[in-house]
A and B are shown apart, each in its own frame.
Chain A
Amino acid sequence: MSTNQIPVGPFHPLLEEAEYFNIKVEGETVVDIEMDIGWMHRGHEFISEQKTFTQSIFLVERICGICSTSHPIACVHAVEDIDNIDIPLRARYIRTLIGELERIHSHLLWLGLAGHFIGYDTLWMWAWKYREPVLQMFEIISGNRNHYGMMRVGGVARDVDPDALPALLKILDEIDAKMEMIAKAANDDPVLKSRLKGVGVLSHRDAIDYCAVGPTARASGVKTDVRKDEPTDAYDLVDFEVIVTQAGDVYDKTVVRLLEIMESSKIIRQCLEKLRSVSGPIVNNVKEISPGEGIGRYEAPRGEVFHYMRSDGSNRPIRHKVRAPSFVNIPTFTASCKGIPLADALITLASVDPCYCCTERAIRVVGHAEQAESIDLLRLSREKTERIRRTIHGA
């Protein structure tokens, strides 16, 4: 049978971001998929190297609007790693609180979009309706619905008002009740089950081979979670579980995210309780950053986000490298999309919760056309890592 090509994008009505897929089909079956990214490339790393350490936190927050506190957290971890800066206990709890609130809102957002992708707009409206209280909590804490601007090297920028705690706990109770309802409804729903079960399976082996991270890996039975593996902030002081399921299909990815919402809500409750008793400063003043390099990791809603900072003792980073979770999750499409019907391809693409804004910081130009395939990006990134390593060690 001859192979046909179906172009999707760059401005497809279903996709929020500009992205382009070239899906090759034989009849109804997907045989190959090519991606063209770079529509979102804004040159973050370059701009960050022109800014001071404090300014680059503002900048990395704008890498992605959905996981907009994961990047700042990883970034401040990287800066703090250079000088082994300690942060006050209260600031650790506030960081964890913000990070987990974001996880809830991001997972609910994904759940809604997944519903939208399979033509199930009721789920979309529902999930987004119950996401609003989370944004309200953000508004109470930081004054903005997204882009909270809470992180600062050595602590956090803003304290949580003790008077606001009862109100926050009340909203959290509301969210908990709704989440239980929505999880039960999604679990019982025959439409979701028949549409998502057994679709776009990413096997355990593939998840390891493609170095998948976050819910994508955890749904395939790979127990990886930076919060547990290398606890930072208050994650070693709170009690929570890492959700792992085995099947690796889209349904399991949904289940992992739904259960993670519950775990996040558990963490938030513990943090809010602790914020009642733990008092003290929220930021350690950092006067200067000594020469050196540091790495920062954080478990973003989509998986591990990684920042690397190198300082020469001035107030600017001389190198800032970002690796976003979608960067490693997006290539898993090639493993999970092959051989499935075209109708299931889009939800499979969406199931890793791809964030192109986070990912796109490299374009390769071939001839006149700009081409960037995932394999190339991976190879380029590895070459670059090698190069950096060589310059550091002077070999």
Chain B
Amino acid sequence: MGWYNKRLAKSIWVFHISGSPCNNCDIEILDLLTPRYDLERMGIKLVGSIRHADVLLVTGIFNQKVAPKIAHIYKQAPKPIFVVAIGTCPTSGCCFKDSYNITAKREDVIPIDLYIPGCPPKPESMIEGVAKLVEVLNG
């Protein structure tokens, strides 16, 4: 799929779903699209439907109510789709790992390709993460 990935890397369309976050990573993702960071100049665009997306951004822990819905959305996505987990929550569970409502293994819900830790990660580190993804896609 090398040729496909290279075409994908030119302009990544992202779809964003929040598991059970504290909202902060979601706000920082939106912040990336506003004039200070303006990711659209690099062809990265937030789209309204998973069926248009090349990259899926997930934030927050997955609680037991939201996990099946996230798995469902992943199923609807046209493959290949790359899943980027943003924030400490999907990476390690942050301070919620002792919660009774968390799904034990996130990887059982959806496969995650790239983790960007931080609480919340700074926009610069999110850009770096996406840049790394582009690098990988370009081979």
Contact = CB atoms under 8 A, between A and B. Distances in A.
Interface of A: 10-11, 13, 16-18, 38-43, 46-47, 50, 58-59, 62-66, 68, 109, 112, 124-125, 128-129, 132, 145-147, 355, 357, 363, 370
A363 B35 CA distance: 39
B26 A17 contact: yes
Central interface residue in A18, A39, A42, A145, by most chain B CB within 10 Å: A42
Nearest to A145: B122
Contacts of A128: 30-31, 34-36
Dominant secondary structure of chain A at its interface with chain B: loop
B5 interface: no
A42 B20 contact: yes
Interface of B: 17-28, 30-31, 34-36, 47-49, 60-61, 63, 65-66, 69, 73, 94-96, 98-102, 119-120, 122
Contact of B36 (A10, A43, A132): A132
A11 B22 contact: no
A313 to B, nearest CB: 23
Contacts of A363: 65
A41 B23 contact: no
Nearest to A147: B119
A18 B22 contact: no
A65 B36 CA distance: 20
A68 B22 contact: yes
A266 B122 CA distance: 29
A149 B116 CA distance: 21
Nearest to B95: A59
Contacts of B30: 16, 128
Given A43-B99, A124-B34, 5 more contacts: A11-B73, A39-B66, A40-B63, A42-B96, A132-B31
A40 B35 CA distance: 29
Given A18-B69, A128-B30, A146-B120, A42 B23 contact: no
Contact of B28 (A40, A124, A146): A146
Contacts of A112: 34
A63 B60 CA distance: 12
A370 B47 CA distance: 30
Contacts of A62: 22, 94-96, 119
Contacts of B73: 11
B23 A64 contact: yes
A10 B67 CA distance: 12
Contact of B63 (A39, A145, A146): A39
B99 A65 contact: no
A353 B57 CA distance: 24
Nearest to B46: A13
A147 B21 CA distance: 13
13 contacts: A13-B48, A40-B20, A43-B96, A43-B101, A65-B23, A68-B24, A128-B31, A145-B28, A145-B122, A146-B24, A146-B28, A147-B24, A357-B22
B26 A16 contact: yes
B119 A16 contact: no
Q: Which 4 pairs, one residue from A and one from B, show the smallest C-beta to C-beta distance?
A: A65-B24, A13-B48, A128-B34, A65-B23
Nearest to A61: B22
Contacts of B34: 112, 124-125, 128-129, 132
A64 B122 CA distance: 17
B31 A46 contact: no
